[in-house]
Amino acid sequence: MDDVFVSSVDPEHWEPDPDVPGSEMHVLVRTEGLWAGLTRFRTADEPSRWTPPQRETIHVLEGEVTIEVAGGPALRLGPGDLASLPAGRETTWHITAPFKEFWVFT
């Protein structure tokens, strides 16, 4: 079946995320209209700026983050929290590491 995706994350098998300096990622699936995976920060010395290319929904698994959304609210998120960010809206992430999230772009 080409529409079922399963992944196991080896703690040592993460790749640097070229779009988000200082982070590592593990991709579960990337197909037309859907991209999902995990991102982690082992350290976070300064804020990280990010503009989602598509709607991004996140689930915080570890650590904490305050996300400043341009023209919108500041979101304070911790383990178990979910948020959905609009495409093309600039955000600034203030991360308390270690930080890990599951994300989906749609």
Q: Give the CATH number of the domain where residue 75 resides.
A: 2.60.120.10
Model confidence, pTM: 0.88
Asked if the structure places residue 92 within a domain, the reply is: yes
The confidence score (pLDDT) of residue 11 equals 67
Residues lower than pLDDT 70 in the chain: 1, 11
- Angle at the Cα of 80 (from 48 to 77), degrees rounded to 5? 35
Asked if the structure places residue 14 within a domain, the reply is: no
The residues near 23 (Cβ < 8 Å, ≥ 6 apart) are: 16, 17, 39, 40, 41, 48
Structural domain that includes position 31 = 22-105
Q: Which two tokens stand for residue 12?
A: 């040592």
Asked if the structure places residue 9 within a domain, the reply is: no
Is cis: bond before 98, omega within 30 of 0? yes
